[in-house]
Amino acid sequence: MRKLPHSKVKLETMFADLTNALIPSSWRRARSAPLAQWAQDHALSFNPMLGGAYALAGRWRDRPVRIQCLEASRPFISGMELMARADLGLKQEGNVVVMNRRLKEVLEAQSRALYSQYTDELQTMAGVVPDEVRWLAMYRDAGWSGPDRRFWSRYAVLTDAPDTARRWIDSETEQRLMEWPEPVSEETPLMLMLQRGKTYMRMQIDRKGNTDIALHALGLFDRASQRALEMAAH
């Protein structure tokens, strides 16, 4: 049998590798299908990527939305990080950050470590202190009657506008925050934010897990964004 030139063999091998990488396997298609359907239902594009990553983008209620699941970019998140942002164009006063208390403890420890390293004025530290750490100093841990003790033992609500926080975290949002599919637990890093007229979410998510957790997180983010718009309308 005639032997192919080395360069041609190498080119064909590279082409085969690229084709295999671009064609999703059956399990990847099955995993992506519910996310693609959710994106379609919300008029967003869906782009699956290698390694279990994906991105959704478009306009939700005529507001720009960007959702990504990528390799974690925060030191307190392991594996994959689900990130969402909706620019609602609101001019609300105050800021609200909901995070699980275990994450708050991790950030407080990080804060103490950072402040022990720097003795100059705080202005010198501005470029090295992560936003999440600064929020601990900027906002107070608020609470109000309504949510039961299980909610307050699991979550901290940091805010400079307690009334805005109380209205934003309504009963439906509270329920979604409490009823996560397994294996999400009190230890799973999660942040839900209303800041500068935008809603944000960051969450640790299992690379190889099913889509139930991602769909629940997207539903929570959708509800939080909708609630912010409802508040602005009244």
Query: What per-residue confidence (pLDDT) applies to 19?
Result: 42
Q: What is the pLDDT of residue 128?
A: 61
pTM: 0.83
Comparing CA positions, the residue from 193, 191, 189 lying closest to residue 164 is 193
Tokens standing for residue 26 = 């059956």
Output the pLDDT for position 209.
65
Q: What is the pLDDT at residue 23?
A: 43
CA of 198: how far to CAs of 3, 58, 65, 90, 156, in Å?
62, 15, 10, 7, 20
Q: Which residues of the chain are under the pLDDT cut of 70?
A: 1-30, 114-128, 208-209
Beta bridge partners of 58: 44, 65
Model confidence over 187-232: pLDDT tens digits? Answer: 999 999 999 999 999 999 987 667 999 999 999 999 999 999 999 9
Question: What is the C-alpha radius of gyration for the chain, rounded to an integer number of angstroms?
Answer: 21
Q: What is the DSSP string of 149-211?
A: HHHHHHEEEEES-HHHHHHHS-HHHHHHHH-PPTT--TTS-EEEEEETTEEEEEEEE-TTS-S
Quick one: pLDDT at residue 10?
54
pLDDT at residue 222 in the model = 97
Instruction: Please answer whether residues 197 and 91 qualify as being in contact, where contact means their C-beta atoms are separated by less than 8 angstroms.
Output: yes
